[in-house]
Amino acid sequence: MSLGGEIGLALPFIEKYEPRRLGLMVISESEVQNPEKLPQSEQYALNELQAEPNVERTNIPLCDVAGLSRYAADFCRSSAADAITALAIGSKTHALALGIAAFSQPRMEVICRIPKKYTMLDVESNGSVVGFEIEDRFEPNAYLT
C-alpha cells in the first residue's frame, strides 16, 4: 500500500482486504516521518497501523517512481499468494509506480481510492516539479486476426 497523508482513511481499505502481509510504502518527505506534527487522529491511525505484526514499512521518496516500482515488484515476487492487491492510497506518483509494477507482475492488481472529498492538510511545497509522460502503445488491431 502506498500511503500519503490520509492515514485514517486508509485503515478501512486494509480492514476490507485483511492482508496476511502488508508492505507499507510511505512518502519519505511526508509528515508521517514526524508523527508529532500530524493531527491527533492521524497519529492514532499511524500507531494502530504500525502496531500490526504483518506490516513492513518502507520510506520511498515522492518522485522515485522507479524505486517504488522495483520495491512493489520485489514484494510481489517474494509472496506465495495467488493474488497481490496493491492499494494506491498515497500520491499520484506512487500510484503510477504501482501501475508500472503491476504490468510486470501478473498476480498484482491495483486498487485506487476515488475520494468523495479530501481531508484538508496544509502541505508545504518542496520546490521540486516533476513531469511524467506516459505513452500508450497499445494497438488493439494487433490482436485481431
Give the domain CATH number at 112: 3.40.50
The neighbouring-strand residues paired with 86 are 110
127 in the Ramachandran plot: left (φ > 0), alpha (ψ -120 to 50) or beta?
A: left
Q: At what angle do helices 65-77 and 92-104 cross, to 10 degrees?
A: 40
For residues 51-63, average pLDDT: 90
Q: Which structural domain, as residue segments, surrounds residue 55? A: 2-143
Q: What is the pLDDT of residues 13-52, one digit of tens each?
A: 888 888 889 999 998 888 888 888 888 888 888 888 888 8
For the chain, what is the domain count?
1
Q: What is the pLDDT of residues 91-145, one digit of tens each?
A: 889 999 999 999 999 999 999 877 665 566 666 777 778 888 888 777 777 777 6
C-alpha cell at 87: 492499494
Compute the distance between CA of residue 68 and CA of residue 74 in angstroms, rounded to an integer. 10
